[in-house]
Structure 1
C-alpha cells in the first residue's frame, strides 16, 4: 500500500516539478543576456591541428583554412576584427567556437587567421578585438564581389 501511495504522489508531482524547472531555466536564459563589449584587448593563440574536422560549438566543422575563432566573451556567429598589436595587421572573422572555461586567453584563431596576422611563428600575440555585429560586414561583401569590366 505504501509503495502504491508513493507511486501516485510521484506521478502527480513530477510534471509540476519539471514544469517549474523549465520556467526557471527559461527565465535564467532570458535574463542572462550580457552587453557585448565593443573593444577588448588580450592574448590570442591559434588552434592546434588536432581540432581539424571536429564540430565547433555552433555545429560547423572546424577547418584551419577558414577565418574563424573561438572566444568565451563574444556571442557565437558574430563578426569581429582582430588586430595584432605588434604589427598592426588585422583580419575580419567569425566566432564559431568556445574555449575551455579556465583558458585565460581572449581568443583562439584558426591557422589562416593567425597567418594573416603574422604570428604563427610566435604562438601567442597581443590583440585588439572589435565586435562588428551579427551580420556579415559590408566590407567583406565588397571584397567577395567579382571585378566589373
Structure 2
C-alpha cells in the first residue's frame, strides 16, 4: 500500500526502511523519498508491505475492503504518522516467499560458463535476513568457483 502526502509534509523518522517483526499484518515500511535520497521538496510517500501469513489469508479480499485494516495496523506501528492525502493499495501475488526452494541452499548455480547464480530470499526464507543469507551464500559460492576458473 502506498500513502501519499503533500509537498512539505514532515515525516520525522530517522530511518528510510523498517522491518517490522511484532505485527501480524505489517512486515516492512519505507519512507520512499528517504530511501531514494530525495530532498524534502519532494512530496513524501510511505510504502507498506504486509506479512506472508496476512497476504495469503487475504489474497482474494478486495483491496478496498482490506485498506482500512492495513491503515489500522500501520497506525499501531507508526502512531505519529500524519493523515495522507491519498492511499493506493496494490496486490503483488508473487512478492513474498511462502514455498521456498527445496533445502534452502541460499543460491543455486545455474551455469558455470558463463557463471549464472540464482539467489534471493526464495532460496532461503522470506524476510530481510533471508536476503542477507542469500547474499552471503552467493559470495561463498562465487569465491569457491572463482578459485576453479
TM-score by length of 1: 0.27
Structure that is richer in strand per residue: 1
Specify the structure having the higher radius of gyration (Cα): 1
TM-score by length of 2: 0.27
